[in-house]
Structure 1
Amino acid sequence: MEKEILKKYLSGTASLEEQTAVIEWLQTDEGKAQLDSLMQEQWDHAPEDAEKGELDRMLKGIHEQIQVSTPHKKLPERKKYNWGKSIRIAASLGLVSLLTVLLYKQLNFKPVPSEEIKTYSKHAEIGEKLRLRLPDKTIVILNSNATLRFTSEYGKSVREVVLEGEAFFEITPDKERPFKVKVDEVVVTALGTAFNAENRAGEVSVALTEGKVSVEKEVEGKAVRVLLDPGQMATSVDQRLGPFAVAAFDVSGVTAWKAGKIHFKGKALGDILSELQKWYGVEIKQEKGVNTARKISGTFNNESLENVLKGLTFSLGFQYEINGKEVVLKK
C-alpha cells in the first residue's frame, strides 16, 4: 500500500476507491503483515516516553475487526508513561501509528460497493431511421442498420459513444466534458457542434455542418489529428495507413437522408443501388448487361422503392422486377 494513498485517507481527500483499497489491504495477509512490520518499525524508533499499552490495544482492536486468524506480534515492553491524548502521542510515532488510531476510531467503516457500469445499445433496423435523445440532451439520428453504444457513465464524468454505421449528431455544448464518438479506429471530439459520421466498408467519413471538431486516428503508433471547419469532410479509407483526406462536401447530399430524402449527385449506379438496399431493406441483383458504372444525379423525397426505380429506369434504360425483398435489374 502506497503511503500517499494512506495520507489521502487520513486527510479525508481519498476517493471512495482509495478508501476501499485501504480497508481491503488490511484484510489481506500481506496487509496484516505489513501493518505489523511498519508498526514495529515505528515503535522501535518511537520516543522513550511513548505509551506502549494503548498503541498495542488499538492494533489488537483493528486485528479483531478485520478477523486476523493468527495472533499479532506484541510490541516490546517499554517504560510506563501516562498516555494522555492518544492523537498527540500517536502523531509523534509517524504516519502508520496515526493510521492505526484513525482506523481504530472508524472500525464501523464499510466500503460502499460501486454501481455496475451498464452498456446501452440502440439500433436502427434496415429500412428505418431512429432519433435518440441522450441524457445530456444531445440528439443522435441513426441511419438504417446503424448502432450506437454508450454506458451508464455517459453524462456523468464523460460523454463517449461508439458508432457502427451512419448517424447525424447535434451536440449539446459542455466545455468540461467534450463529446467523443468512436467510429471504427477514428475518434471525433466536439464541444458543441453538428456533424455526420459514417463507417462504410472500412471507409470512415466525418462531415461537419456547424461548429468545430477534431478527427483523430492512430497511424504507426502516432496520433494523426485534423481540425474541421463547417463544410469540410475528413475521410479515412484505410484505418492503418496515411492521414485523412480533407475536402469540401455537398451538405444537402450528405445529410439529406435524415430528412427522408435520397440525394445523389454524379454518383455511380452501383453506389446508388447500395444505398437503396440499406434504405429500403431489400437485396438488389443485376443481370448481365446492366452498366452499374454509369453516373446520375437526382433527389427523391420520401418516395416508394418502385417510384425510385422508375426514375432510374427512365434515365438509365434498364428494367426491373420486385419480388418481396428481392429486386432484379435487367437490361
Structure 2
Amino acid sequence: MKREELIKKWLDNNLNTEELNSFKQLEDYNELIKMNKALKHFKAPDFSIDQTYKTLKTNLEVKKTNLNHWLKPFLKIAAVLAIGFSIYYYTITLDTQVNTLIAEQTTVQLPDHSTVDLNSNSTLTFNKNNWDDSRELKLHGEAFFKVAKGKKFDVITTDGIVSVLGTQFNIKQREAYFEVTCYEGLVAVTHNHNTTTLKHGDTFKIIDGKLLANEKENAMQPHWLRGESSFKSVPLKYVIAEFENHYKQNIITENIDLSRLFTGSFTHNNLDLALKSVTIPLNLSYSQSRESILLKRE
C-alpha cells in the first residue's frame, strides 16, 4: 500500500494489523505521531480527514525539503569518506601470497630488497603495503632467504618462528618436519617458547616432535637450489614426501619400514636416476605405472 493511503487510513483510525505494521515502518513515523498528538489539543467544528491530511502532508514535505537541503551534501561527503577509508583499509590489509606447484620453484623480492627462493609445493604470505609496520612473513613449505644487510623480520611457521638478524638461511616446514639452517650471519629460532640462536653452519631440526642433533653444514646454500634434495639421517617417509614435491608421481610402498633412516640425495630433473638414488642404498626395487610408482623390498 502507498504511503499516502497508509497515512489516510491511520488518520481515519482504519488500519488493520498488517497495515499498522507497515505504517510503523515509515521513515517519518515518529513525526506523524508527534503531529497527531499536537492536533488533538485543537478542536474544529467541522473535522475533515482529507483537509487534515493535506495540511499534514504539506508540513512534512516542508520538513523533508529543509532536511534534504543540508542532509544530502552531508551524506555525499560521508559516502566519499567511507569509500576512501574502505579502499585504504583494504589496500593495507591485503596480503601478497605466492604459491608454487609440484616441481615448480620461484624467487620473490621483499619490500626491503631481501629475496626469497621458494621451493616446490610451498606458500609464502606477507603484506608488502604494510611492511614497515608489520615485518612478518608466513611460510608453509621450504624457502631460502637472502636478507638485505641490516634488515629484520620474522618468518612464522606452524612449528616455530624464525627471527632474522641480517643473514642467509633456509627454512623447511612440512608435516611433522621442521628444519632451519643458517648459511650466513645469525638467526633466532623460537619453538615451544624456547629460543635457539644459530650461527653459520648450524641447523635446528625437529622431526616427529623430536629435536635432533645435526652435523655442521659446510655448503654455501641449500642443495635444492642446485636441483637436488639432500638428506642426513632422515626417515624414509619424509624422503618419499619430498620426492612427491618434485615429481608428479604418487609413491606407493609395500612392506617397507618407512622409519628407516636415509642419507643421500636425489636429482629433480631425472626421474629414473632419482629413483635409483633412493632405492639402491636401501636395497629397494621399484616399478612405474602412468601415474604412480610402487616401492618394495627386493
Q: Same fold (TM over 0.5)?
A: yes
**Residues 100 and 106 in structure 2, CA contact (< 8 A), matched pair in contact too:** yes
**What is the deviation of 1:183?**
0.9
Match of 2:125 among 139, 149, 152: 149
Q: Tell me what 2:198 maps to.
A: 228
Match of 2:174 among 193, 196, 200: 200
**What is the deviation of 1:225?**
1.9
| Residue correspondence of structure 1 range 1-331 to structure 2 within 5 A | 113=85, 114-116=88-90, 117-175=93-151, 178-217=152-191, 219=192, 223-236=193-206, 247-252=214-219, 255-288=222-255, 290-292=256-258, 294-330=260-296, 331=298
Q: CA–CA distance in 2 between the matches of 1:265 and 1:185? A: 20
**Residues 169 and 183 in structure 2, CA contact (< 8 A), matched pair in contact too:** yes
**What is the deviation of 1:194?**
0.8
- TM-score, normalising length from structure 2? 0.61
Q: CA–CA distance in 2 between the matches of 1:185 and 1:226? A: 14
Deviations 1:13-64 (A, max 9, x none): xxxxxxxxxxxxxxxxxxxxxxxxxxxxxxxxxxxxxxxxxxxxxxxxxxxx
Deviations 1:225-282 (A, max 9, x none): 222211112235588xx9x767544354982112211223444544322221222132
Unaligned runs of 5+ in 1: 1-66, 69-109
Secondary structure of the structure 2 residue equivalent to 1:184: coil
Aligned length, in residue pairs: 215
Please tell me the residue identity of whatever aligns with 2:139. Answer: L
CA distance change for structure 1 residues 304 and 171 in 2, over 3 Å: closer, same or farther?
A: same
The higher radius of gyration belongs to 2
Percent of counterpart pairs with the same letter? 28
CA distance change for structure 1 residues 237 and 284 in 2, over 3 Å: closer, same or farther?
A: closer
CA distance change for structure 1 residues 281 and 313 in 2, over 3 Å: closer, same or farther?
A: same
Secondary structure of the structure 2 residue equivalent to 1:231: coil
RMSD between aligned residues: 3.2
CA distance change for structure 1 residues 272 and 235 in 2, over 3 Å: closer, same or farther?
A: closer
**Residues 194 and 211 in structure 1, CA contact (< 8 A), matched pair in contact too:** yes
Deviates more, 1:160-169 or 1:313-322: 313-322
Please tell me the residue identity of whatever aligns with 1:229. Answer: K
**Residues 183 and 198 in structure 1, CA contact (< 8 A), matched pair in contact too:** no
**What is the deviation of 1:122?**
0.6
Q: Tell me what 2:52 maps to.
A: none
CA distance change for structure 1 residues 143 and 300 in 2, over 3 Å: closer, same or farther?
A: same
- TM-score, normalising length from structure 1? 0.56
Secondary structure of the structure 2 residue equivalent to 1:308: helix
**Residues 207 and 249 in structure 1, CA contact (< 8 A), matched pair in contact too:** no
**Residues 183 and 220 in structure 2, CA contact (< 8 A), matched pair in contact too:** no
Unaligned runs of 5+ in 2: 1-69, 72-80
Q: CA–CA distance in 2 between the matches of 1:281 and 1:135? A: 33
